Every structure is written in structure tokens, then in C-alpha cells.
């Protein structure tokens, strides 16, 4: 379809119509681009565990029909006349949100993801509108220039896609707590987030230990850069590693005994969670008090920080370990993600949409 300022864009993708429904082919209209917008042909989109949660309404906040996907890479098709940073053909990415600070007096570029007025890439609403935001399980997207990331040439578009959520989600706390040479860091969980966290912490100069439920992924962890791997199903692990780490970063969403992990932290050290357990987690004051330890959380990253992360990854050769899938296999992929049966991130090749012609 020829693009004009008043002509809605038709897009193809996959959507779910409800919490108990599979994802199916879906044709919909993208908004017409404004002067400050970038129109992107999507090449790849990562499959985040939160996509599964959102599609199934696990958090009770889902809107349908839903086109998931917030780990998007692609190529600029065209730009509005006010766009200065991008041009046709540029390699770009879109992460977890497409606008921010919409209820504030100005944009806070350092803390925008923590402030009211955040517009999520999918399962949200366009500013000042009841139109839903629809994500990256589709062939195109229209986004304001200020929320578009530049993907360095050193990063392949497919393996870079998961960095737009998984990457910045672990990069942000590692940077915030100043992980660097000599730091002793433990990563809890070796999944989509954890495997990237190991690579990033190692690239920052830290000595990295992986704490996984079993030792099944020991060889993988060592290849990724970990110095040691311990099984958390063994009580001896928590005794042997008492007060061993400056920082423990938990990437898991399952049941975790935070009190036990706090015991692994040195004086003035920090336990950070980026995973979201399904229910409340009891915490005792004693393990916090005796080591002047901190318990903290972290939530993705700003656009500024996400670009910093991409540039860091390009310099250090950090990408996600991926399994490419066709969009037609997305429901199988969702089932495998729910069982942690992926090493370590599914990425959808959106060219696969062409195999079925125009979706309906």
C-alpha cells in the first residue's frame, strides 16, 4: 500500500483474541506516520517470557486482540520530515515502550521507565487515544524518532533482538550497582535473561558464578563466561558460598528463597531481582541487618540506557544465543518457553509471514 499522511497502514501479524486463545494470523491498521515518526519494516522479534504471561493474562492486565512483541529489530522504510537521526535503510530496534512521560511536564530521559505516562510497545494505548498498541509479531511498526534505537553494524539483527528487553533488563542493574573488574557476581538462573547477564557481567570484568537449580547447564554456563556453577537444589551450596558475592542478580520468576540468597552476599552487598515471582516472597530482617545488605529490584531501562547497552554489546561482542523460528510456530514456542525448553531465546523471522500470503 502506498504511504500517505492520511492513509492508514495495513500490517500483517499474529494476535491472540483472549487469554485461552492461541495466536493466529491477524491483519490490522498501523497509524499513519506523523512528521516525527519512523516507519520500520520488522525483520526479527524476540519471544520474551512476559509475552507468554501477557497473552495468557497472567497479571490480569491484558487487552485483546493482542499482538505481542517488544524485542524488535528491522530496517527503516521511511521517515517523517522532522526526523533527523534516521534515514531509509538504517538498522534499528524497538524495545519495551514507544512513548514516555506523557502525563509529565517534560521527558525524564534517565528515569522515564519508572514514571507515569509510559506507553508500552504492546498491550498499552496510544497517547490521548483508546487505540491499542500492537507489538512486534508483525511486519511493520510506526514509532516516534525518540524511541527508536540504532543497532550497530557489529550486531546481527536476529541475535540483537533479545537485547532490546532481556539485554537492557540485566545491563541496567549491573551498571547501576557499578559492576566492574574484580567484582564477584552471582547470576541466578540461566535462561533468556541469565545467559545474557553472564556475558555482560564478564565483559564488565566481573568474576561470574551461575546459580542454577541443577548442574544440567554447567557446560553452557562455563562457555558463556562463568567461572563456576553451583546447584541451588543442594543445601551445601548456600553454606559453601556464604558471604561470597558483592552482588547477586536473580533472573528467575519461580519460587525463590530470598533469605537464603541474601546470606550469599558480603557486607554492603546487594541482592537484585529482575524476575517476578508469581506470589509474595517473605523476607526476614535478620539477613539484611547482619550484613548491612540491600534488597533491590530493577525494571528494564530508559531509551538512553538501552542505546548505551547496544553500543556496549557491539564493542564486546555480546549477543543473545537464539533459536530462529517461523511465525507459524509461535504457539509451539510459547509452550516451550513455559517449560523453559529453549537455549536461550526464540527469535521470530518475520519474513516467514510471506509463506502464507495475506493474513486474515
pTM of the model: 0.92
Identify the CATH number of the domain in which residue 41 sits: 3.90.180.10
What's the confidence (pLDDT) of residue 9? 79
Tell me which residue range forms the domain holding 64. Answer: 9-165+301-356
119: β partners: 99
172 shares its domain with 291: yes
186 shares its domain with 64: no
What's the confidence (pLDDT) of residue 357? 53
282 shares its domain with 193: yes
Phi, psi of 7 (to 5 degrees): -100, 115
Cα 217 to Cα 226: distance, rounded to the nearest angstrom? 11
What's the confidence (pLDDT) of residue 227? 97
Summarised one tens digit per residue, pLDDT across range 60-117 is 899 999 999 999 999 999 999 999 999 999 999 999 999 999 998 899 999 999 999 9
155 shares its domain with 199: no
Please identify, among 271, 297, 323, the residue that sits at the C-terminal boundary of a domain.
Answer: 297
What average pLDDT does the chain have?
93
Query: Which residue bears the cell 524476540?
Result: 46
For residue 4, being part of any structural domain is answered with no
66 shares its domain with 183: no
| Confidence tier at 176 by pLDDT (50, 70, 90) | very high
Identify the CATH number of the domain in which residue 175 sits: 3.40.50.720
292 shares its domain with 325: no
If one counts the domains in the chain, the total is 2
Please identify, among 297, 316, 337, the residue that sits at the C-terminal boundary of a domain.
Answer: 297
Summarised one tens digit per residue, pLDDT across range 121-172 is 999 998 888 899 999 999 999 999 999 999 999 999 999 999 999 999 999 9
284 shares its domain with 321: no
Q: Is 357 left (phi over 0), alpha (psi -120 to 50) or beta?
A: left
The 8-class DSSP code of residue 132 comes to B
231 shares its domain with 336: no
Please identify, among 247, 264, 297, the residue that sits at the C-terminal boundary of a domain.
Answer: 297
143 shares its domain with 223: no
Tell me if 260 sits within 8 A of 238, measured CB to CB.
yes
pLDDT(312) > 50:
yes
209 shares its domain with 137: no
| Confidence tier at 255 by pLDDT (50, 70, 90) | confident
Summarised one tens digit per residue, pLDDT across range 290-306 is 999 999 999 999 999 99
What's the confidence (pLDDT) of residue 72? 98
What torsion, rounded to 10 degrees, do the Cα atoms 50, 55, 57, 59 define?
A: 10
Amino acid at each position: 500500500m502506498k504511504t500517505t499522511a492520511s492513509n492508514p497502514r495495513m500490517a500483517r501479524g499474529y494476535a491472540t483474541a483472549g487469554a485461552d486463545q492461541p495466536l493466529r494470523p491477524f491483519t490490522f491498521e498501523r497509524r499513519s506516520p506523523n512528521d516525527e515518526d519512523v516507519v520500520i519494516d520488522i525483520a526479527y522479534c524476540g519471544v520474551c517470557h512476559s509475552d507468554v504471561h501477557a497473552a495468557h493474562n497472567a497479571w490480569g492486565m491484558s487487552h485483546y486482540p493482542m499482538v505481542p512483541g517488544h524485542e524488535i529489530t528491522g530496517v527503516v522504510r521511511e521517515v517523517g520530515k522532522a526526523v533527523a537521526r534516521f534515514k531509509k535503510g538504517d538498522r534499528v530496534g524497538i524495545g519495551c515502550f514507544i512513548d514516555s512521560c506523557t502525563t509529565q511536564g517534560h521527558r525524564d530521559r534517565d528515569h522515564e521507565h519508572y514514571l507515569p505516562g509510559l506507553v508500552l510497545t504492546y498491550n498499552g494505548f496510544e497517547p490521548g487515544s483508546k487505540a491499542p498498541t500492537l507489538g512486534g509479531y508483525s511486519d511493520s511498526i510506526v514509532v516516534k524518532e525518540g524511541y527508536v534505537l540504532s543497532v550497530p553494524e557489529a550486531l546481527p539483527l536476529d541475535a540483537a533482538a533479545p537485547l532490546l528487553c532481556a539485554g537492557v533488563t540485566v545491563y541496567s542493574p549491573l551498571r547501576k550497582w557499578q559492576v566492574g573488574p574484580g567484582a564477584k557476581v552471582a547470576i541466578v538462573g540461566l535462561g533468556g535473561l541469565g545467559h545474557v547477564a553472564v556475558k555482560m557481567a564478564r565483559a564488565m570484568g566481573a568474576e561470574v558464578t551461575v546459580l542454577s537449580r541443577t548442574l544440567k547447564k554447567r557446560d553452557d554456563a562455563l562457555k558463556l563466561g562463568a567461572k563456576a556453577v553451583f546447584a541451588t537444589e543442594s543445601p551445601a551450596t548456600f553454606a559453601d558460598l556464604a558471604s561470597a558475592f558483592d552482588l547477586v542478580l536473580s533472573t528467575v520468576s519461580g519460587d525463590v528463597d530470598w533469605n537464603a540468597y541474601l546470606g550469599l552476599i558480603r557486607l554492603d552487598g546487594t541482592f537484585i531481582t529482575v524476575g517476578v515471582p508469581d506470589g509474595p516472597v517473605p523476607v526476614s530482617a535478620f539477613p539484611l541487618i547482619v550484613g548491612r545488605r540491600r534488597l533491590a529490584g530493577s525494571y528494564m531501562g530508559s531509551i538512553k540506557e538501552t542505546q548505551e547497552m547496544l553500543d556496549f554489546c557491539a564493542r564486546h561482542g555480546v549477543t543473545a544465543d537464539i533459536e530462529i523460528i517461523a511465525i507459524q510456530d509461535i504457539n509451539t514456542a510459547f509452550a516451550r518457553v513455559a517449560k523453559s525448553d529453549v537455549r536461550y531465546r526464540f527469535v521470530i523471522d518475520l519474513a516467514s509471514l510471506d509463506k502464507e500470503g495475506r493474513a486474515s
